Amino acid sequence: MYQNKLQRNVKIISEIHPQHFGSMDEVKRMILQNKICGADYVKVQLYSSQKLFNNKDREFLEITKKEFHEMHSFAKSVGIELFASIFDEEKIDWCEEIGVNLYKIASRSVVDKKLCEKIISTNKKVIISLGMYDYKNLKIPYESKNIIYLYCVSKYPTALKDLEIPDFKNSFFSGFSDHTVGIGAALYAVSKGAEYIEKHYSNSKAMGIDTQMAHICSMNSDDLTKLRELSDNFTLIKSFSKKIT
């Protein structure tokens, strides 16, 4: 049985974009599945394909303002929080209009200071992945008590040999954005003290390797259920161990 949501030490963020195929019906199905399987958050991406990629190849995955509001309302009705990775300033206004509680800044957007500073200025919680940022040789890009940094390797899928998962208790990272196949790496990160795990979610993992859709490195409902249960077990084991010692 899952722990009460307020007792969870590990927060699971389920990324359903672009695995929703641009279908609102699939978005709602995935939101409901993630609620049932124990995710804490569901995340989408708000962008213009032309602005972000300089082409219209991903136009079918774009989310309109009306659709985003509908998604947010549906998620709220089933008891799970929805938020988004933001790729242009207009989308911040969409989020503020409906009162989102947190934002995501993707690895590729960390260098966009104007965008990032506007997101941070909302004073909401901001989750930032550093998969494309040279954090080993450069200082942390943004300083704020509201920022949560995620360790990430921006390869789809990420080979296990490419990981350098930190000891989160002694790191500025608070969590792991996982692009590996399976949930082993995510569970290892939890054992190292990760408080946040972010991973793509798909109902069609058999589609294989696709740099645009990244199904193979996603979790499905069975994976998410196991990740939730085992992450909660880690929390319980740690608390019992402290009592015994």
Helix/strand/coil (H/E/C) assignment for every residue in 173-217: EEEEEECCCCCHHHHHHHHCCCCEEEEEECCCHHHCCCCCCCCCC
Assign residue 128 the CATH number of its domain: 3.20.20.70
At residue 147, the 3 state secondary structure works out as strand
Count of structural domains within the chain:
1
Domain that holds residue 144: 5-244
Residue 234, classed as helix, strand or coil, is helix
Ranges of H-type helices in 79-197: 89-98, 113-120, 184-191
Query: Residue 166 corresponds to which amino acid?
Result: P
Quick one: pLDDT at residue 162?
Answer: 97
Quick: pLDDT tens for 8-59: 589 999 999 999 989 999 999 999 999 999 999 999 999 999 999 999 998 9
CA 103, CA 83: separation in Å to the nearest integer? 6
Residues in the chain with pLDDT values less than 70: 1-8, 207-214, 238-245
CA distance 124 to 23: 29
Q: What is the reported pLDDT for 5?
A: 53
Do 223 and 184 touch, CB atoms closer than 8 A?
no
* Per-residue pLDDT, 179: 96
- Cα separations (Å) of 98 from 48, 179, 194? 20, 30, 29
In the prediction, which pLDDT does 6 show? Answer: 47
User: What pTM was estimated for this model as a whole?
Assistant: 0.92
